[in-house]
Amino acid sequence: KNNLIVYRMNSENSEQKFVVIVCDSVLKVLGKKNLIVPLSRKYFNPYKFLVGNNGSVYLLGVKTDPEKRNRDADKNYYVVFGSSTGTYKWSEHEVKNSEHFMTDAGMVVDELNHHLVISGFYSDKTGYSAAGVFYYYLSPETLAPGEVHFSAFAPAFLYKFLGEQKENYNRELVNYSIDKIILRRDGGAVIIAEANYTSEYSYYDYYLRTFVSRRYYHHDNIIQLSVNMDGTVLWSNVIQKEQTADDDDDTFISYTSAVSGGKIHCLYNRSLKRKTQVLINATDALGNEKNSALLDEDQDALIMPSASKQVRADLLIVPAYKGRDLKLAGIIF
């Protein structure tokens, strides 16, 4: 399995320059080349770099038409650059649709089916909400254009979000961004996304005789969507979660996930205070869920999701505080 190191270099305002380094599993350098993106940051926003097992490198980004008067990012299409280790001959590929806004996307290399998969959310009305999912795949060898497949959220799925802010007559979700795309053997994929947003609260402090403003950071429900290659949704789940912090420190907030034994495991703190449960949700290939408490309140533990890492097929390492002591917890599935 190859590893990728990318960093930005100083360049002209009309372009972006990246140094791309491909390494093997022991960090031996296999190739080092420069990538010149012939667009400034105003017109192209690099989103995600990936490397395949054969050393090919791909970049997913959002491109804005330089001819548009409105300089906001046009999320109606994403652009992919691809290369091989030997030539590093970069080419541009557009993934677009004139009928929908593509509001968020992720990219993964499907080594089993020899595809480059791009999947995410789309909207019918705005550039930030989500009416459903889209799925797109192409051959990394040819980058031949294909069809973007769309599937709207089912009413039964949207019903699970009662009380949440929505758009377009309650038919589109807001605040959800893609965290991970997990490939299926048949070419489909499972999209995992979490609701995250900020809110503000202001009041007048009569004692201090001044206005006080507070900003809160929310990490709420997790959604799982299993999407077929034709864009249809095989199953969908919502993991109910509500976490609110008064600063942007992500030490204990959000969740971590691991794939093991044909199941997706999501772990998170039930609340962000001492004496809370650490919960785990396991979802199998058919979408069947099982929720349980990994640690109860009397364990006095708080996990640190953002610092976790799956180091083996059946092992997830998660830093955690047990009381006042920092520990490394090994979770075996």
* pLDDT, tens only, 229-246: 999 999 999 999 999 998
Provide the pLDDT for residue 81. 73
CB atoms within 10 A of CB 15: 13
Provide the pLDDT for residue 25. 83
Q: How far apart are CA 46 and CA 63, in angstroms?
A: 9
Q: How far apart are CA 89 and CA 81, in angstroms?
A: 9
Q: Enter the pTM of the model.
A: 0.89
Tokens of 24: 């093997």
Provide the pLDDT for residue 85. 53
Q: How far apart are CA 82 and CA 230, in angstroms?
A: 24
Q: How far apart are CA 218 and CA 297, in angstroms?
A: 22
9-to-16, 63, 84, 201, 309 alpha-carbon distances in Å: 8, 20, 22, 40, 29
CB atoms within 10 A of CB 257: 21
Helices (H) and strands (E) in the chain, counts: 1, 26
Q: How far apart are CA 45 and CA 59, in angstroms?
A: 10
CB atoms within 10 A of CB 138: 18
29-to-4, 22, 25, 26, 205 alpha-carbon distances in Å: 10, 6, 10, 9, 59
Mean pLDDT of the chain: 89
Provide the pLDDT for residue 318. 97
- Residue 161's φ and ψ, nearest 5 degrees, are -110, 35
- Residue 311's φ and ψ, nearest 5 degrees, are -105, -10
The residue written with tokens 């075996």 in the block is 332
Provide the pLDDT for residue 91. 73
Provide the pLDDT for residue 165. 84
CB atoms within 10 A of CB 125: 14
The residue written with tokens 């649709």 in the block is 97
Amino acid identity of 228?
Answer: N
Provide the pLDDT for residue 247. 80
| CB-CB contact of 88 with 31 (8 Å) | yes
Which SS3 state, helix, strand or coil, does residue 62 take?
A: strand
Low-confidence ranges of the chain (pLDDT < 70): 67-77, 82-90
- Residue 166's φ and ψ, nearest 5 degrees, are -135, 170
Provide the β-strand partners of residue 122: 102, 132
Provide the pLDDT for residue 71. 47
Provide the pLDDT for residue 28. 92
CB atoms within 10 A of CB 219: 21
Q: How far apart are CA 20 and CA 145, in angstroms?
A: 25
